[in-house]
Amino acid sequence: MATYQITKVRTERPLNAAHEHITDVELSNRTDQRFSRQTIVNDLRNPSGDRFYTNAGGVRADVIVMGCPHCGYGDYITTAPDWTTANNLLSLPRF
């Protein structure tokens, strides 16, 4: 198991939705490869899988899997809640 920083995201808007879901991520040390949301979900659900985090302004946030707060989609990745939105996945640069 390793831990990686997510630095960029790709999003798409679900059909008839006013919000976005992350489809792919880019890691700080793996800019040559992008990873699908499902790959991240699979790792996070596997007890021995890799772990992921974001970091903005020196504030780290762990990436977790939960249901989308808007539509209930179950393989939604987000960051653990804290006092800032700067380290949220949807606040990261897009690719």
Q: Where are the domains of the chain?
A: 3-91
Q: What is the pTM of this model?
A: 0.90
Question: pLDDT by residue (tens digit) across 14-67?
Answer: 888 889 999 999 998 776 779 999 999 999 999 999 999 999 989 999 999 999
pLDDT at residue 69, rounded to an integer:
85
Q: Which residue bears the tokens 């987000």?
A: 78
> Do 27 and 35 form a contact (C-beta atoms < 8 A)?
yes
Question: pLDDT by residue (tens digit) across 57-71?
Answer: 899 999 999 998 888
- SS3 at position 54: strand
